[in-house]
Amino acid sequence: MAANNVHYDEKLAGVYDQMYPIEFDTSLAVDFIAALAPAGGRVLELGVGNGRIALPLAARGFQVHGIDASEAMLAVLRKRDARNEVVTETGDFTETGTGLTFDVVTVVLNTFFVAVTKEQQLGCLRLAREQLVANGKFILEAFDPAPYHAMEKQDFSMRHLADGAVMLDTLAVDRAHQLMYGTHTIVDGGRPETKHHVLRYAFPFEIDLLAELAGLRLVDRWEDWERNPYTARSPRHVSVYERADAPA
């Protein structure tokens, strides 16, 4: 995640998998990414987090690198990575590159939106392009913001984490600046702590325009990792880009 928006401290990193119980989606995402990389190829994940995607890719024989601004999330990844197969780096993926090139660069699960200005999002895309080999692919997964853009009042929700532990969430939207303001409060018998985060959502066509400015061009867009067609009703998109100077 981008450094200016680090909200995954040790407490949140410890419950991340309970916050997003999407193991069914993980295997589909790994299959999708693996299909676009050559056997044993190099993969870079922006916002690598706790290794949900990176570790299965490494287990398939890919050379996987990851960058993330949350040291707490990276600590979880390293603990799970018993064989040290994933190379990790602490940093802001909107400003910091690896100095290497990869067959695939990917940013999943809305992580692109933690870049909270248009300039930061453009910086992310430019660095993605710079770190792609000539015929490489950049994969971006994000929600379609239309339902959130229509929100007129603050939303409140609760999710179960474990026996005796719940998370209380609030969400407010600033449509004028395409910003989403959220809070997470864990209630588990200890002292409740509230963590804040901000996302800057962007519509697919806006991401495409920023990608063009960054030297990328859209190749494919799907509704999900199973390659179902993207339509006006799709809740998210999986978009594949390539370098604009790649051979047609």
Provide the 3-class DSSP secondary structure of residue 232: coil
- 182 and 109 both lie in a single domain: no
Cα dihedral 147, 203, 248, 122 sign: negative
Residue 180 lies in a domain: yes
Q: What is the largest CA-CA distance in the chain?
A: 58
CA 168/CA 162 separation, integer angstroms: 13
pTM of the model: 0.91
- 96 and 121 both lie in a single domain: yes
- 223 and 133 both lie in a single domain: yes
Q: Which amino acid is it at 241?
A: Y
- 181 and 94 both lie in a single domain: no
Residue 38 lies in a domain: yes
The pLDDT value given to residue 3: 41
Number of domains the chain is built from: 2
User: H-helix or E-strand containing 215?
Assistant: none
* CA-closest candidate to residue 160, choices 25, 24, 19: 19
Q: Domain containing 166 — which CATH number?
A: 2.20.25.570
- 110 and 183 both lie in a single domain: no
DSSP type of residue 246: S
Residue 238 lies in a domain: yes
Residue 248 lies in a domain: no
Contact assessment for residue 55 and residue 84, using Cβ atoms and an 8 Å cutoff: no
How confident is the prediction along the chain (248 residues), in pLDDT tens digits per residue?
444 444 666 666 566 666 666 677 899 999 999 999 999 999 999 999 999 999 999 999 999 999 999 999 999 999 999 999 999 999 999 999 999 999 999 999 999 999 999 999 999 999 999 999 999 999 999 999 999 999 989 999 898 888 888 989 999 999 999 999 999 888 888 888 888 889 999 999 999 999 999 999 999 999 999 999 999 999 999 999 999 998 87
Q: Domain containing 47 — which CATH number?
A: 3.40.50.150
Contact assessment for residue 241 and residue 219, using Cβ atoms and an 8 Å cutoff: yes
Which residues have a Cβ under 8 Å from the Cβ of 206 and sit 6 or more positions away? none
The pLDDT value given to residue 18: 61
Which residues have a Cβ under 8 Å from the Cβ of 248 and sit 6 or more positions away? none
CA 162/CA 96 separation, integer angstroms: 36
- 185 and 174 both lie in a single domain: yes
- 137 and 235 both lie in a single domain: yes
- 119 and 178 both lie in a single domain: no
* CA-closest candidate to residue 32, choices 204, 223, 212: 223
According to DSSP, the residues that pair with 44 across neighbouring strands are 65, 105
pLDDT tens sequence across 83-135:
999 999 999 999 999 999 999 999 999 999 999 999 999 999 999 999 999 99
- 128 and 18 both lie in a single domain: yes
Residue 159 is part of which domain span? Answer: 147-199
